[in-house]
């Protein structure tokens, strides 16, 4: 009997874990993380892209102060579709050096991300609850909502799978490729306009643009907070579909979800 692939194991565990109307336990999430941690870029049919020197000059100490920073070299990010159903999706994002997935949200979703190769800068936020919203009152009025930074770091393979939840863990995040990088992603449930889970993009403003820490009675450093404004999808964001060349998923015959498989 052929050995079961890591991708197959991930699919089977996702299918048992992400059931509509059923809460997902922390134990189940840890099991998923363990499976994702064991998957290598070679196993999913990827070749490590040799690093070049494009973009290295922009990654200095101040390079990530704005999550809306455009990539100096606008190159498309490639998405490799592995599996999709009503409950979850599995796919891989392949970034060229310096490419960016802009700041965006994951409404009502749990997302697991594993860096397969390379290095990526991650900046992630959670909304402050109850919502703190300010109308700018400027000539071109801006509505912003307060969020707190949960992560501002560079992840380099090999590293552990990161998890974000609907209301914590950095549900709003952006990625900037420090080197060429590939990220294995599980989204549960998937984006769906019909179900009210559309992707929204944001521009971030420093906390000091609209208020002071003292005014809101906060003890933390103001650098921990930003104001986020909804925006249209940035013009410099390029995404294209690629061909997944890893092991195919064998769907169980008793599946009750509507699914598509790579």
What is the pLDDT, as a whole number, of residue 70? 46
Mean pLDDT of 64-82: 63
Model confidence, pTM: 0.84
Walk me through the domains of the chain, giving residue ranges and CATH numbers.
6-123+155-192+235-261 (2.60.120.10)
Residue of 106, 102, 155 whose CA lies nearest to 126:
106
Contacts of 44 (CB under 8 A, 6+ apart): 6, 7, 80, 82, 92, 116, 184, 244, 246, 247
Q: What whole-number distance in Å separates Cα of residue 15 and Cα of residue 75?
A: 34
205-257 residue pLDDT tens: 988 887 654 555 565 567 789 999 999 988 878 889 999 999 999 986 444 44
Longest CA–CA separation in the chain, Å? 69
Instruction: Report the mean per-residue pLDDT for the chain.
Output: 84
| 56 or 143, higher pLDDT | 143
């Amino acid at each position: 009997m052929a050995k079961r692939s890591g991708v197959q194991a991930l699919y089977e565990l996702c299918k048992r874990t992400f059931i509509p109307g059923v809460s997902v336990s922390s134990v189940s999430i840890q099991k998923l993380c363990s499976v994702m941690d064991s998957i290598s870029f070679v196993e999913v049919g990827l070749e490590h892209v040799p690093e070049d020197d494009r973009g290295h000059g922009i990654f200095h100490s101040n390079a990530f102060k704005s999550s809306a920073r455009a990539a100096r070299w606008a190159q498309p990010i490639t998405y490799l579709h592995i599996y999709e159903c009503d409950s979850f999706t599995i796919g891989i994002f392949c970034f060229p050096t310096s490419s960016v997935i802009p700041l965006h949200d994951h409404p009502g979703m749990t997302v697991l991300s594993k860096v397969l190769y390379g290095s990526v800068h991650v900046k992630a936020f959670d909304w402050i609850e109850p919502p703190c919203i300010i109308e700018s009152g400027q000539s071109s009025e801006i509505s912003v909502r307060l969020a707190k930074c949960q992560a501002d770091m560079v992840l380099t393979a090999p590293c552990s799978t990161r998890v974000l939840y609907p209301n914590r863990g950095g549900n709003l995040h952006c990625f900037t490729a420090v080197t060429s990088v590939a990220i294995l992603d599980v989204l549960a449930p998937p984006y769906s306009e019909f179900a009210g889970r559309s992707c929204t993009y944001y521009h971030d403003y420093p906390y000091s643009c609209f208020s002071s820490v003292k005014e809101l009675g906060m003890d933390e450093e103001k650098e921990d907070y930003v104001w986020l404004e909804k925006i249209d999808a940035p013009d410099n964001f390029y995404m294209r579909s690629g061909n997944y060349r890893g092991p195919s998923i064998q769907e169980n015959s008793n599946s009750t979800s509507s699914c598509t498989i790579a």
